[in-house]
Amino acid sequence: MATKCAGYTNAGKACQGTPLPGGTLCFVHDPAMAERRQQGSIKGGRGKSAKVRAQRQLRDSVMAPADVSGLLSISMQKVATGVMEPGVGTALASMAKALMSVQETAQLADRLAALERAAGIEADNVTSFPDRRTS
């Protein structure tokens, strides 16, 4: 049995991969594995997209207002004592403000939806505000 793949790289050099059991080609060069390689490539591409990575990180690190307040307090102390650069503190404060704004907007949207349900108003049917201008 071969210890190295019988295939060649794109550069024309002998492949250094390990052949699959009972064969002479590695996973990359074996034509019978083409579909599995493509499926793996698609799946791997999905998992590496910036959107997927961001969603995964957000799922694991949602911050409540108290968490943000604590982070900003610690950051302020670090900036004041010279442990943290002021620019980093400013960036943290800007992101915290944006995060709190998004959370507040989401809470207001939830409250509005609950009020609309209680009033029997379907939000999908409301397309625009009435024109209040007087002629």
Residue 41 or residue 71, greater confidence: 71
Q: Among residues 44, 1, 53, 52, which one has the least CA distance to residue 23? A: 1
Average pLDDT, stretch 4-10?
91
Residue 134 scores a pLDDT above 90: no
Residue 47 scores a pLDDT above 60: no
Average pLDDT, stretch 88-109?
90
Average pLDDT, stretch 42-69?
69
Binned at pLDDT 50, 70 and 90, residue 45 comes out as: low
Q: How is residue 53 written in tokens?
A: 């990575």
| pLDDT (0 to 100) of residue 57 | 66
| pLDDT (0 to 100) of residue 39 | 83
Q: Among residues 47, 9, 3, which one has the least CA distance to residue 28? A: 9
Residue 101 scores a pLDDT above 60: yes
Average pLDDT, stretch 91-115?
90
Binned at pLDDT 50, 70 and 90, residue 125 comes out as: low
